[in-house]
Amino acid sequence: MMRLGFRRSYLGLKEWSVENRLRRFSTESARLADKVVLITGGASGVGKATATEFIRNGAKVIIADIQQKLGAKTAMELGPNATFVHCNVTQESDISSAVDFAVLKHGHLDVMYNNAGISGTLVSGIADLDLEEFDQVMKVNVRSVIAGIKHAARVMVPRQTGCILCTASVAGILGSTLYSSYGVSKFAVVGIVKSVAAELSKYGIRVNCISPPTLPTPLALSAFLQFYPGLDVGRLTEIINESGEIKGVKFGVDDIAKAALYLASDDGKYVSGHNLVVDGSFTTSKSFPFPALDEVMK
């Protein structure tokens, strides 16, 4: 009887201990507890992965996207801490309204993630560039970032705190010969971040961007279909996944989401004006097209 009582007592203590540890782990892992986040382009790809990661870490996320059905579906999938708001980022009024919605619903805005973007169309060279199409890429990829920063600052400055993130790209470091408009737009994003970070730091607001490589997102897949017309989406995904730099490491949108989590959390509290390049060393070097020694000595 004593043995049975001891066993029950031990098991109860063990269960309490495990439960307590899990609760403690949950608290410690909630790096964005009660933070309010607005993510443009949050219905899919990097935006959705980031929304998922942020909610897992205690945040309340507003998903702002032009895709009404997909955005609403994503918010429903992510649960009660996700809310969808329709947003065409080429319209400043939509961005302003999305920011106001976040404040009205949750009382404030802690993190603004300007993530929405388009790739533009494939061009063979600068002489073939369609300037109307260029203007559209700049509206989505650059003007919307400026508008997002502007309206985030509008509500963050009075609180003297906040974090603004933007999605840049390795194409904004090395350039892009096939998608000229996209490459130019991402160079601009990096420049915007560095310029604005200096101004907003005096209000306690950090501004950073993340430069990922090509990922199998809807954005990249639609761009690749221009390059490989008629190719199966599954095969396109394989091609992108096989292009990684670090041998044996599988890389995806979740890795960009974790980079965003670092920058948005207190772990990155003194990081501002930074372009966090998450590319496995892709942009660190370039192979020189010189002939091999045996070819020169022929």
Positions marked catalytic: 182
Closest-CA residue to 217 (of 252, 177, 264, 263): 252
Query: What region does 130 belong to: left with phi over 0, alpha with psi -120 to 50, or beta?
Result: beta
Nearest of 38, 40, 48, 39 to residue 218 by alpha carbon: 48
Q: What are phi and psi of 259, to 5 degrees?
A: -65, -40
Instruction: State the Cα–Cα distance between residues 214 and 35, nearest whole angstrom.
Output: 29
Radius of gyration from C-alpha coordinates of the chain: 23
Cα separation, 279 vs 174, in Å, equals 12
Provide CB contacts within 8 A for 215, sequence distance 6+: 45, 46, 240, 251, 252, 253, 256
Do residues 215 and 236 make contact, with C-beta atoms less than 8 angstroms apart?
A: no
